[in-house]
A and B are shown apart, each in its own frame.
Chain A
Amino acid sequence: MKVFTVFLTCLFFELALADLAATSVNFESQTITIALVQEPPQLNSMKATDQVSLMVLGHLMQGLVQYDRRGNVIPGVAMRWELNDKEATFWLRDNARWSDGNPVTAHDFVFAWRNALKPETASEYAFILYPIKNAEAINTGKVAATELGVEAINDVILKVTFERPTGYFIKLTSFATYYPVREEFWVTKKDRYGADAVDLLYNGPFVMTNWTHSASLNMVKNQLYWDKQNISLNAINAEYITADTRARLNLFIDGKIVHTRLDGETSKDALTQRFRIRRFTTGSVFFIEYNHRPGRPTNNLNLRRAIQHVFDADEMVNRVLATPGNLRGESLFPVWLNGVNDKFRREYPAPLAIYDVAKARQYLALAKDELGSIGPLVLLVSDTPTATKQAEYMQGVLGNKLGLELKIDVQTFKQRLAKMTSGDFDMVGAGWGPDFDDIMTFGDLFASWNLNNRGRYNNPQYDRLIRTAMNSTVPRIRMDAMGEIQQIVHDDAVILPQYEQGVIYLLHPRLKGVVRRVVGTDPDYTHAKVVP
């Protein structure tokens, strides 16, 4: 018995001490520990779509170009490039290496882009390659992948032929779907490509050494990376995977991770702990999408105008969402988008709907005349707490100020998607995040051919303006078209913009150089370093 007790005590201390050593930053070894919000579904750059996978891939791989701290495009695997209306040419550096020692060549890009477009790969982001000639045709199965307008002149020169002039193409190539993939490696893996740490080749600043599913993911500095002398961190360890914000805050307070996102409730704890809270606007726009199909009450313009004039975006952002960082929703286009010389929203200010209950009621009366009576409207939302809270708020607003009954249809993720696709809603709480760093990622949302236009808004003038913007590379022409689109979205009340999402987060004070991005790897630890 005595021996047993002694044994237990030793075990206690040994196990206890084992954990004391682990902290989130280490200056000598330049390692940091982070937590992931969820397990990355897959790390195949040709198919990845979710935030976590893209963040991890952004550290493990690199495309032709990358972004610097201030959001400017700088060389990645490509040293320099040239762009005109018809084609783009990239000159690759000769010291870019894969983690198995082989050089990164233009052939790797050709293979990856062709593969991403093949219909059987079923990549959801294939559309981002569409500016390339024949890309859409390949993706819809009309022509073979070898017809893609991309050619490796030799190992270090890559030539891309466009389907139509695309001024922002260079920026596109920083996205994950454009990353290179080595063909000889891929054929040895096929379906297993990206399944585990050994099933990937890396050409980025870090390589993945270990991936224990749902538990941890470890990355260490890539000794073969061409710019390795500018990388300070030696290892990034994702030791915790949980979606619970409070759990991550507890880990942060306990000194176990360097970064966590806060929500309204956890921000108050963070204040009590006297942590430095930082703010970041994610660049996503949240709005209510109307169902424009004929037969639906929301097809009626006056009804939509009534709602537009009774919604107070300030109140929603400041009292309902109540976390700093959110901006009031005024337009389809968020504030971070670039215009010709300055931000788009500064050059083309959003038309504002003035909050006016009396006017709203007039519009409602007009709508009632045209529609007869208006039955209860259905607002479709997902089953997350924030969505239901916002829906309840809308219900209160419409009920109290307009006397309109709003029913809230709470659906789990897939059921909500099914209903959205089949058009079984009047209004749906929706959001859109940017796919690439150009205004078109928001602009074409409500073009009649866009499958994401679930409300089936159909306006030939809108379509025409989009085509104008798509077919021109002159910034003034494109931005003017987008300015008109912004006006149409307001005049026709296509959607009800609610807010532009902002997040607040914590960062370990001794970790410097972490970059937050709207488009691209976010958060980006590549050039971070631990200071003493």
Chain B
Amino acid sequence: MLAYTIKRLIAGVITVWFIATATFFAMHQVPGDPLMNDKAVTPEIRANLEKKYGLDKSKTEQYFIFLGNMLQGDFGISFTQQNRRVNDIIRDHFPVSATLGLLAIFFATTGGVLWGALTAIYRNQLPDVIIMFFVILGISVPSFVFAALGQLMLVNINSFFGQSIIPVAGWGTIWHMLMPSMVLGLGTMALLTRLMRSSMLEVVNEDYIKTARAKGLSPTRIFFRHQLRNAILPVITVLGPQIAAITTGGFVVELVFAIPGLGRYFVQAVQQLDYTVIMGTTVFYGAFLVLMVIMVDILYGFIDPRVRLS
């Protein structure tokens, strides 16, 4: 187990290095640069700026400088927010996105497993139809619609009570986190419901379930002990990348609910071609994703002993 983990971590480091390299050169290929702005500056000032930020060197040279800095953990200073170090930006804002993301995953997983199991048990009956209807809605309607509707719902709740009970936007208390994380988790919840459903349907017909029932075990025990554990495997598989996707993809929700997360920074960085922030956040997210995947793979082996890992 330990050997396996170490091997995976080494492979992970190499993967992150590939990600950094590919992104670096892709970023420099795109036309435009962080120094261009609506108000044009004189060529002299521009030359000065390039020198100051090291953009006058060749791309390969810049790459090795970047690599050297990265190994020391220094991602430089943001081009658009010239007083903030990229490390500070990540350190300040990632925990917010992570909290939001984890809460969303929590909602998505508990909801998805629950609804999925229900649809499988009551297959082709009313609960199944209703839940599947909402699942279809959940994946056909884009997330920004849900975000807008969610916020609207909060406004209406507050005006119904005559005072502001649940905050409509912002960050700080658990009340700020409820609606945004639910909205963020909706898409994943729909996916997990569906996965869980199809997986449960297969498990329900297995022989060992029949045996358990014949043995006289109560339905609840069968459900939690046998059905759930076996059906949950595809959910676990997809959970790793989903955690990473939700944590990094919370941009729309962060925008609508005025949440100071990293997602907004990242999208703006690409639009503004803020080289340092792009590299810093990409490497960071890449490392985070790789870590999530490793953890999920290890978890997979624990849950299903039949799966040998190497």
What residues of A have a CB within 8 angstroms of the CB of B255 in the complex? 242-244, 247
The reply to whether B175 and A419 contact each other, CB–CB distance below 8 Å, is no
Chain B contacts for A15, CB-based, 8 A: 173-175
Judged by a CB distance under 8 angstroms, whether B125 is at the interface is no
Check B260 against A214 for contact (C-beta < 8 Å).
Answer: yes
Q: Identify A141's interface contact among B44, B167, B256, CB under 8 A.
A: B44
User: Which of chain A's residues have a CB closer than 8 A to the CB of B37?
Assistant: 49, 124, 417
CB pair B256–A244 under 8 Å, yes or no, is yes
- B151 and A250 contacting across the interface, CB-CB below 8 Å: yes
Take A19-B173, A124-B39 as given contacts and tell me if A119 and B44 are in contact as well, using a CB distance cutoff of 8 Å: yes
**On chain B, which size bracket covers the interface?**
35 or more
- The 8 Å CB contact of A451, one of B40, B82, B93, is B40
Task: Flag if B151 contacts A246 (CB, 8 Å).
Answer: yes
CB interface residues, A 402-416, toward B, < 8 Å:
412-415
> What is the interface residue range for chain A against chain B?
35 or more
- A residues less than 8 Å from B45 (CB atoms): 119, 122, 126, 139-140
The answer, yes or no, to whether A6 is at the interface (CB within 8 Å) is: no
Q: Are B52 and A414 in contact (CB under 8 A)?
A: no
Q: Which of B32, B92, B158 contacts A417 (CB 8 A)?
A: B32
The CA-CA distance from A120 to B82 in the complex, in Å, is: 14
Whether B264 is near chain A, meaning CB under 8 Å from some CB there, is: yes
Across the interface, do A214 and B169 meet the contact criterion of CB distance under 8 Å? no
| Contact A42:B81 (CB < 8 A) given known A119-B44, A250-B168, A415-B30 | yes
CA distance A18 to B164 in the complex (A): 10
With A42-B82, A42-B83, A213-B92 known as contacts, the answer to whether A254 contacts B271 (CB < 8 A) is no
A358: shortest Cβ distance to chain B, in Å? 38
Is A192 part of the binding interface, using a Cβ–Cβ cutoff of 8 Å? Answer: yes
Which chain A positions have C-beta within 8 A of B219? none
Contact sample, A vs B, 22 pairs, CB 8 Å cutoff: A15-B173, A15-B174, A16-B175, A19-B164, A19-B167, A19-B175, A122-B41, A126-B45, A139-B45, A140-B44, A195-B83, A195-B84, A213-B93, A215-B260, A239-B170, A240-B169, A247-B255, A250-B169, A414-B31, A417-B32, A417-B37, A419-B31
Contact surface of B with A, Cβ cutoff 8 Å? 30-34, 36-42, 44-45, 48-49, 52, 80-84, 89, 92-93, 148, 151-152, 154-155, 158-159, 163-171, 173-175, 255-258, 260, 264-265, 271-273
| Chain A residues within CB distance 8 Å of chain B | 15-16, 18-20, 22-23, 35, 39, 41-42, 44, 47, 49, 119-120, 122, 124-126, 139-141, 191-196, 199, 212-215, 239-244, 246-247, 250-251, 253-256, 412-415, 417-419, 421, 451-452, 454
Query: Can you list the 6 inter-chain pairs with the closest CB atoms, starting with the nearest?
Result: A414-B32, A195-B83, A451-B40, A214-B260, A242-B258, A418-B32
| Given A241-B260, A247-B255, A250-B151; 16 other pairs, CB 8 A cutoff | A15-B174, A124-B39, A191-B82, A191-B83, A193-B83, A195-B84, A213-B93, A242-B169, A244-B256, A247-B256, A247-B257, A256-B170, A414-B36, A414-B271, A414-B273, A417-B36
